[in-house]
């Protein structure tokens, strides 16, 4: 997909970012031939549903010179890796409960030439209580990992006061779930901050990013451990590893 085609979806990138994004698509589909990272097989569909969708929220932060973002439940690296391809000065951390997926994301990020991307395999409800991760990020994002109540509970523990949580949803699900999460916002230190709505055409339809501002520290007991956050099932635990290049990953 060209820079002009991306612009048709409301995504503005330069040529260098477009090349990194193309490398992401190529590496994702290559990894997907050996590991089920995505049901999408078409390069064009991957551009629309992984790249254009992932970049819908970056207008909120792209004017900032640097920052930190954590992508919870990253799967095949979206939205975190596409965001890192465009915001190269940002530190992006990818989290997923499946070690094989995180290992694939590490390889994909390396192919894309993204030294600012870190990878962690583990349970979000455990990791969000770790001192080195607790309320350390400017932005926490999640796409297609469960109901909004679970998503916000997972994300809030990672975000510093003044930062934001981004939950990728359809407008229909956003309208249904918005009221249900209201009782959680106080304990999570969150306040609703609107949404970004966009249209991915025939492939993706109407989408939105629900925005929540972190206005206070998250209550100590959140996210709830043991798989109880939002009624979700616990995911595999993690164990720390040391990479050959000296950077710390967890997997």
pLDDT in tens, 11-57: 889 999 999 999 999 999 999 999 999 999 999 999 999 999 999 99
- Spatial separation of the C-alpha atoms in residues 151 and 72, rounded to whole Å: 9
- Spatial separation of the C-alpha atoms in residues 119 and 143, rounded to whole Å: 17
Mean of per-residue pLDDT scores for the chain: 89
Q: pTM of the predicted model, to two decimals?
A: 0.88
- Average of pLDDT values for 219-248? 53
Q: What is the architecture, at CATH level 2, of domain 3-219?
A: 3-Layer(aba) Sandwich (3.40)
CA distances from 90 to 20, 80, 119, 137, 232 (A): 15, 11, 14, 11, 30
Output the pLDDT for position 228: 53
Tokens of 85: 């391809």
Domain ranges, ordered by start, for the chain: 3-219
Q: Is the pLDDT of residue 248 over 50?
A: no
Contact 215, 190 (CB under 8 A): yes
Contact 64, 81 (CB under 8 A): no
pLDDT band at 144 (very low <50, low <70, confident <90, very high): confident
User: Any idea which residue has 């040391």 for tokens?
Assistant: 242
Q: How many CA atoms lie within 13 A of 40 on its CB side?
A: 19
Contact 196, 189 (CB under 8 A): no
Interior/surface letters 184-206, b for 16+ CB within 10 angstroms, e for the rest: bbebbbbeeeebbebebeeebee
pLDDT tens digits for range 151-205: 999 999 999 999 999 999 999 999 999 999 999 999 999 999 999 999 998 889 9
139 DSSP β-pair partners: 69, 164
Contact 122, 94 (CB under 8 A): no
């Amino acid at each position: 997909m060209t820079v002009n085609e991306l612009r048709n979806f409301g995504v503005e990138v330069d040529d260098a970012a477009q090349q990194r994004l193309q490398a992401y698509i190529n590496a994702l589909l290559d990894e997907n031939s050996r590991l089920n990272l995505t049901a999408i097989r078409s390069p064009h569909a991957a551009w629309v549903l992984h790249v254009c969708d992932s970049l819908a929220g970056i207008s909120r932060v792209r004017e900032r010179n640097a920052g930190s973002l954590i992508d919870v439940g990253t799967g095949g690296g979206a939205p975190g890796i596409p965001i890192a391809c465009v915001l190269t000065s940002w530190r992006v951390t990818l989290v997923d409960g499946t070690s094989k997926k995180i290992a694939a994301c590490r390889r994909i990020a390396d192919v894309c030439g993204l030294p600012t991307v870190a990878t962690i395999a583990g349970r979000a409800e455990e990791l969000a209580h770790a001192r080195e991760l607790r309320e350390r990020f400017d932005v926490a994002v999640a796409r297609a990992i469960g109901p909004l109540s679970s998503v916000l509970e997972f994300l809030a523990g990672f975000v510093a006061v003044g930062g934001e949580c981004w939950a990728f949803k359809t407008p229909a699900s956003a309208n249904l779930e918005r009221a249900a999460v209201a009782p959680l916002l106080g304990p999570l230190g969150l306040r609703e901050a609107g949404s970004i709505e966009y249209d991915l055409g025939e492939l993706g339809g109407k989408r939105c990013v629900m925005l929540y501002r972190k206005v206070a520290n998250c209550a100590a007991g959140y996210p709830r451990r043991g798989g109880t956050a939002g009624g979700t099932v616990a995911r595999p635990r993690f164990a720390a590893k040391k990479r050959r290049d000296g950077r710390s990953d967890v997997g």
